[in-house]
């Protein structure tokens, strides 16, 4: 009989994330669609020198009060803890919203490496990893700092940059419901980066609002097939 993918707690699900691991974090940026409980569990677990891959590096608890009354935790807690050595993503800063986020502060102090990736390019790099592709050519970033150190090629008279696939050791994602096999359905904007990241990690860990028996999900609503999901934690809303 196959081993159950259901874990009792987020702490148990992230317990083996190791130092220097690469970790994808789903969601668009703020609290919507963000695997907040898995992020906090990783912060408490303490793995260090991580490479964090996310659309946004989080704002941190202090700044989050300006976005949602009462505040919330996000990936910023990992930067506050000094657990991240490199960030790869689209939105490392908030355009001068004071106070600065933990990510911004560490980068300015020279304690954090940041690789800024255009949002569509970030999604496509992850998709390439999931599909086993060697990369893709895009005109986005030509003539800017994004092009530094990258191979370029002229195709039909237009210059393109070669972008390479982006994969991770672990992906922390958020879905609405899962069945016990790990088939996932999402709610609203949680479909942004969560589904694609689920396909590009060696180990995909998902927190869900509820777990249902196999056969209870509408097959037409399933976005992430169970083959991509390794661990499931139920965290009721």
Give the CATH number of the domain where residue 226 resides: 3.40.1080.10
Tokens describing residue 69: 């009354």
Question: What is the rounded average pLDDT of the residues 193-210?
Answer: 97
- Is 158 within a domain? no
Are the C-beta atoms of residues 151 and 183 closer than 8 Å to each other?
no
User: Does the pLDDT of residue 1 top 50, yes or no?
Assistant: no
Are the C-beta atoms of residues 85 and 51 closer than 8 Å to each other?
yes
pLDDT in tens, 107-137: 989 999 999 999 999 999 999 999 999 999 9
Question: What is the rounded average pLDDT of the residues 43-48?
Answer: 97
Tokens describing residue 45: 């677990």
- Structural domain harbouring 25: 6-134+165-234
- Is 74 within a domain? yes
- Is 144 within a domain? no
- Which of 3, 5, 4 lies closest to 204, judged by CA? 5
Q: Tally Cβ neighbours within 10 Å of residue 131.
A: 10
- Is 156 within a domain? no
- Is 154 within a domain? no
The strand pairing partners of 7, in sequence order, are 233
User: Does the pLDDT of residue 18 top 80, yes or no?
Assistant: yes
Taking the model in full, what pTM does it have? Answer: 0.93
Number of domains in the chain: 1
pLDDT in tens, 86-106: 999 998 766 555 567 888 889
- Which of 10, 73, 79, 85 lies closest to 45, judged by CA? 10
* Rounded Cα gap, residues 168 and 22, in angstroms: 5
Coil, strand or helix: which one is 76? helix
pLDDT in tens, 52-95: 999 998 888 888 877 788 888 888 999 999 999 999 999 876 65
* Rounded Cα gap, residues 213 and 178, in angstroms: 9
pLDDT in tens, 134-189: 999 999 999 998 899 999 999 999 999 999 999 999 999 999 999 999 999 999 88
- Is 37 within a domain? yes
Q: What is the pLDDT of residue 235?
A: 94
- Is 26 within a domain? yes
Q: At 61, phi and psi to the nearest 5?
A: -65, -40
- Is 198 within a domain? yes
Specify the residue for token string 């690469």.
Answer: 22
């Amino acid at each position: 009989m196959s081993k159950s993918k259901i874990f009792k707690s987020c702490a148990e699900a992230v317990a083996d994330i190791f130092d220097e691991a690469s970790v994808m974090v789903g969601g668009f940026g703020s609290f919507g669609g963000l695997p907040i409980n898995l992020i906090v569990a990783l912060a408490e677990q303490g793995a260090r020198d991580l490479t964090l891959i996310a659309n946004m590096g989080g704002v941190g608890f202090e700044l989050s009060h300006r976005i949602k009354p009462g505040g919330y935790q996000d990936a910023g807690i990992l930067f506050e803890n000094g657990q991240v050595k490199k960030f790869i993503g689209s939105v490392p800063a908030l355009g001068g919203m004071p106070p600065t986020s933990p990510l911004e502060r560490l980068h300015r102090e020279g304690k954090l490496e940041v690789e800024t990736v255009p949002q569509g390019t970030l999604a496509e790099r992850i998709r390439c990893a999931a599909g086993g592709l060697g990369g893709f050519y895009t005109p986005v970033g030509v003539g800017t700092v994004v092009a530094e150190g990258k191979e370029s090629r002229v195709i039909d008279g237009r210059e393109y940059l070669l972008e390479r696939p982006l994969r991770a050791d672990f992906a922390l994602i958020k879905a609405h419901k899962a069945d016990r096999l790990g088939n996932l359905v999402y709610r609203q904007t949680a479909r942004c980066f969560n589904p694609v990241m689920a396909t590009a990690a060696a180990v995909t860990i998902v927190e869900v609002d509820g777990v249902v028996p196999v056969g209870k999900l509408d097959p037409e609503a399933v976005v992430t097939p169970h083959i991509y999901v390794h661990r499931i934690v139920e965290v009721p809303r």
